[in-house]
Structure 1
């Protein structure tokens, strides 16, 4: 007699999930199912639900999953109902990283189409998407022209979980190279708390003084954390 293979528990799951997404809309899906829909494309066979849930468990949130590096994503492992362990390959990791890059560019568009100072809400939205879930400290500078329009958004340094080295002379030298009239300093606190440290305050003062001597204005220094964004100017720190 012919033997029949047992039907996998996930058989038909993909089409059922796609049908629910079409019928009720993507906004009604929980985060792990939204991830599943995306993983279907890079993993055309098999059950991806364990992987989606493992990603959220490992990184803590959907935003943090997308902000993870390719190397970090590839460390994630999940076990299916048959006890088989499955991981994320470089193709899937690149797909997820690309999705984060798309989100950053979409958030950046409103901030660069108008003078940055007049589109402050859009700027804050952009820096939060870019840095809110970065696992390591990153220091970047937004260089602006005389009309306060963005010339360049450049990562100056990446560091550890609590420190990114900053060299005031390099920050200002780069401003001269791109003919900037002003700049906005931005960095993140991976701890989640955007409160400025003493080192942050001292470093900002050094950059402001160096920039002033060359007629470059520092509009603000923004610190991004999971708990929000702190503006040095609003706090009277510069």
Structure 2
């Protein structure tokens, strides 16, 4: 077979590359990926935005108790609707203030409220109490009586057990210390007049205000409350420690033994 009869495929394969006629390759574009539809925001996102806007524009007065609770729960419950848990809290405890005052253990039992959210609610309650206490610190207590009552209610009105506390004042009636002396049951707490006066002398207090709560909600003093107050007054008189008042707080208000002319 002559050279001219060689297979053309061999001829072209041996031809120098520089002289070969190269056919440009056709680039095939990859098929475009279909765009995923945008994710819809959970329905409660718009509700949260509207609630925040109402609060910014009208303050707390523009929101009901459960709506204010919703607002507080936004950060504690970031991925769920907070309206249901907020309404459940109000239904269980009665009011915004009573929710803040409820024991953490009971808060965590409400549907939608776990341990973290219950802890956050108690932290908010502590902040409110600290703020109220700041309103009477370093100033004459008798000239800030409304703030004193507000502080006592914030600190004790919704406690499930009786607590007896004493506000110790210096000679200018400025708050020296605020201490819970005793804790008791749902309807009784023991009080020891000598211990109250011993602590007053330790702090160099010139006057005191007695405070305790009635978990029943009714702040009206009992006969035992009145007699115990008179005993403390009599114990403090020879020591130069004056009892300015005995305040009883409850969910339904407060009572002042001095205001009622019982001491």
**Which residue of structure 1 aligns with residue 142 of structure 2?**
117
Residue 158 (structure 2) pairs with residue 133 (structure 1): yes
Deviations 1:69-120 (A, max 9, x none): 222211212xxxxxxxx3x222211211111112122222232232111222
Residue 83 (structure 2) pairs with residue 58 (structure 1): no
**Which residue of structure 2 aligns with residue 74 of structure 1?**
108
Moved more, 65-74 or 101-110: 101-110
Residue 207 (structure 2) pairs with residue 200 (structure 1): no
Q: TM-score, normalised by structure 1?
A: 0.86
**Which residue of structure 2 aligns with residue 235 of structure 1?**
260
Counterpart-to-counterpart distance in 1, 2:163 and 2:175: 19
Counterpart-to-counterpart distance in 1, 2:58 and 2:247: 39
Counterpart-to-counterpart distance in 1, 2:41 and 2:237: 71
Counterpart-to-counterpart distance in 1, 2:60 and 2:240: 49
Counterpart-to-counterpart distance in 2, 1:138 and 1:237: 21
Residue 83 (structure 2) pairs with residue 49 (structure 1): yes
Counterpart-to-counterpart distance in 1, 2:56 and 2:262: 50
**Length, aligned pairs only:** 226
Aligned equivalent of 2:239, options 214, 231, 235: 214
Q: CA deviation at 1:154?
A: 0.6
Q: CA deviation at 1:132?
A: 2.3
**Which residue of structure 1 aligns with residue 31 of structure 2?**
none
Counterpart-to-counterpart distance in 1, 2:200 and 2:142: 18
**Which residue of structure 2 aligns with residue 80 of structure 1?**
none
**Which residue of structure 1 aligns with residue 116 of structure 2?**
91
Residue 72 (structure 2) pairs with residue 38 (structure 1): yes
Q: Residues 13, 220 of structure 1: CA spacing in aligned structure 2 closer, same or farther, 3 A cutoff?
A: same
Gaps of 5+ in 2: 1-35
Deviations 1:105-142 (A, max 9, x none): 22222322321112222212221222222222111000
Secondary structure in structure 1 of the residue aligned to 2:225: helix
Q: Residues 146, 20 of structure 1: CA spacing in aligned structure 2 closer, same or farther, 3 A cutoff?
A: closer
Counterpart-to-counterpart distance in 1, 2:127 and 2:44: 30
Q: CA deviation at 1:8?
A: 5.7
Secondary structure in structure 1 of the residue aligned to 2:197: helix
Output aligned runs, 1:147-166, within 5 Å: 147-166=172-191
Q: Residues 176, 28 of structure 1: CA spacing in aligned structure 2 closer, same or farther, 3 A cutoff?
A: same
Q: TM-score, normalised by structure 2?
A: 0.78
Q: Residues 94, 143 of structure 1: CA spacing in aligned structure 2 closer, same or farther, 3 A cutoff?
A: same
